[in-house]
Amino acid sequence: MPKNKGKPFSKKEEDKMMARVLVVDDEDDIRNLIARSLEAESYSVDTVGSVEAALDLMESNPYDVLITDKNLPDADGAKEGGMNLLRYSRKAFPRTEVIMMTGYSSVETAIEAIKLGAFDYLTKPFSLEDLREKIDRIMNYRSFLNSENALETYRTLHNELLSLLENRDNLPEEELHKLLKLLGSRIDQVFGAQKEWERIIQLQSEALRNIEAYAEELKKVIPRKDQAYHLVRKIYGEASKRIQ
């Protein structure tokens, strides 16, 4: 774990500290590079080199994000152990979002992973900045009032966009990935508007709770026969009803 050197964490750092990440890759260099990069950004990171080791850790740790290579050997020697790990994770650990890493620059491969429930994918070699953006997107969507709906909606939209691009043989692979990144940012903008609306709702709810509390205090000091008592009681009732 990275040390904060006695300084208080910023809000952004606190959000990242709450994100527990598991990295699964049978290549030591890749695992270590990803871990160092994420730990430098204040994420909590564990790394393992096999499907079996990943399952052992996931049984006892509530990970927010699983980053796994597609082509991992599993216990039976299959070369796509990462895909099997994805399938199992979505069933056994539905709160853990999966980012699939693949060495093959193929939209078809990405579609396969996302149809199985992956949140997103990365094609090796990828930039660590792209990886951090995808993790931050997951944690940002998880902060929504209805986080499961936000995450599922993102997955659905992303899958549909990938499917639309699947047969674009006339478009170079690099251009496809650039387009997907742009579309992902556009989806974020849509959700950003929803996030702002949720912020307004939360502020309104907080204001109503304050009104309810003030009205409750006034009810204690105003005589019941006083006309003002009935007004305060009405205000209290309206605030309580709107909070619910």
Model pLDDT for residues 201-239, shown as the tens digit of each residue: 555 666 667 777 777 787 787 888 777 777 767 766 765
Phi/psi-derived region of residue 25, left when phi > 0, alpha when psi is between -120 and 50, beta in every other case = beta
End-to-end CA distance of the chain: 41
Q: Which amino acid is at 146?
A: N
For CATH 3.40.50.2300, the residue range(s) in the chain are: 11-167
CA angle 152, 112, 128 (to 5 degrees): 75
Alpha-carbon Rg for the chain in angstroms: 24
3-state secondary structure of 44: strand
**Average predicted confidence (pLDDT) for the chain:** 76
The pLDDT score that the predictor gives to residue 37 is 93
**Could you give the CA distance from residue 189 to residue 166 in angstroms, rounded to a whole number?**
24
Does the domain at 11-167 match CATH 1.10.10.10? Answer given as no
185's tokens: 């940012």
Q: Which of 198, 190, 200 is nearest to 158 (CA)?
A: 190
Regarding predicted confidence, which is higher, 167 or 31? Answer: 31
Q: Which tens digit of pLDDT belongs to each residue from 160-184?
A: 666 666 666 566 666 666 666 666 6
Residue 96 clears pLDDT 80, i.e. is over it? yes
Find the helix or strand (DSSP H, E) in which 57 lies: helix 51-60
What are the residues whose beta carbons fall under 8 Å from the beta carbon of 99, sequence distance 6 or more?
A: 65, 66, 67, 68, 118, 119, 120, 121, 122, 131, 134, 135
Check: CB of residue 203 under 8 Å from CB of residue 172: no
Check: CB of residue 72 under 8 Å from CB of residue 51: yes
**Could you give the CA distance from residue 26 to residue 24 in angstroms, rounded to a whole number?**
7
Regarding predicted confidence, which is higher, 186 or 200? Answer: 186
φ, ψ (nearest 5 deg) of residue 36: -60, -40
> Which of 2-11, 24-33, 179-188 is modeled with the greatest confidence?
24-33
Strand runs (DSSP E) across the chain, as ranges?
20-24, 44-48, 65-69, 97-102, 120-123
129's tokens: 């900045």
Check: CB of residue 166 under 8 Å from CB of residue 111: yes
How many helical (H) and strand (E) elements, i.e. helices and strands, does the chain have?
Answer: 9, 5
